[in-house]
Amino acid sequence: MSAPSITPRTPYQLGYRMPAEWEPHQATWLAWPHNAEDWPGKFQAIPWLYAEIVRLLAAHEQVHLLVEDARAEGRVRGVLERAGANLDRVSFHLWPTDRVWTRDSGPIFVRNAEGRVAITNWRFNAWAKYSDWQLDDQIPGRVAEVLGMSVWEPAVRLADGSSQRLVLEGGSIDTNGQGILLTTEECLLSEIQQRNPGLTRAQLEQAFSDFLGIDQVIWLGCGVAGDDTHGHIDDIARFVGPTTIVAAVEPDASDPNHAPLAENLSRLKAARTLDGKPFDLVELPLPRPVIFSGQRLPASYANFYIANNLVLVPTFHDPHDRLALNTLAEVFPGREVIGIHSVDLVWGLGTLHCMTQQQPAAGGVVSG
């Protein structure tokens, strides 16, 4: 493959936009779990959970899987074979990673009206929490090179004339694929975040427009309790159609999630589409608090992943599991909706959406 070209004009100027997750995929990108410290005391179960997810995804689309080295590839192949995964649909890449949350460290793809797919390579700094992020920050560039795609590195020009490359995690944004984006103030604007200190709301909105083709940003407030990313949108509100949003709610007034999620729902009720109409809102419950080793975890059904003909939904051995699955089955009538037991997975502070990154199909047509 030839090296990707660095394109001087912005994606917006060239007619690119970030597609919605439900649009046809070429593939899903994942990284195989290897850091036991991310699931202390529970790591043994995680590779088998990943194998089941790869098996389900590979039945519907290609899976690109990042593994540490050739020895790890051999070990992973054995696990996937035992799990019954279709290895013809799994492409291995020997790229060491710090962690496995490719939603946040992986490329954010954009596509133009002619169906050409390209990559936006935002900076990744491990949520401004960990010192080991350098390997993960290389992933989008590596993907661009292996796929031979054009790539942009989003940046803003500062008052002193210097340029600052922008930090953005895929889990902090969600789009309807038609110019509207959801995100949160807690993650991108609050004082506790250290993604892009000093940047304004207007500067971020301009960057979303320039690099993701966004015309309107809907800002929610705070995320769920236990979320160490400080307010990722993919635990609280998701587009499931051009004008339909599922929003997490917590009716128990004694729960820390009650007030912030009620405020988010109020903001969504006040929001309007680009043609001035209200959104169709679907309320999604939260499971009861999931606590392990004295720590509340960011358990949310909103962290589902939409694949070709398939929706994978985290479940938590909770009475609300059935309600969440039924709710999502109603908004995705043409897809299989499958629950994935995630009580062990969420101990790593993320679940299904956090571990996946979709590659849209070129031309909007599924290949393979």
| DSSP per-residue string spanning 298-332 | ---TT--EEETTEEEEEE-SSTHHHHHHHHHHHH-
> Which residue(s) pair with 315 in the sheet?
341
Which residues carry out catalysis? 354
Domains of the chain, first to last? 16-363 (3.75.10.10)
Q: What is the mean pLDDT of residues 342-346?
A: 98
**The pLDDT value given to residue 364:** 53
161 Cβ neighbours under 8 A, 6+ residues apart? none
Q: For 233-282, what is each residue's pLDDT tens digit? A: 999 999 999 999 999 999 999 999 999 999 999 999 999 999 999 999 99
State both tokens at 185.
């103030």
Q: For 29-83, what is each residue's pLDDT tens digit? A: 999 999 999 999 999 999 999 999 999 999 999 999 999 999 999 999 999 999 9
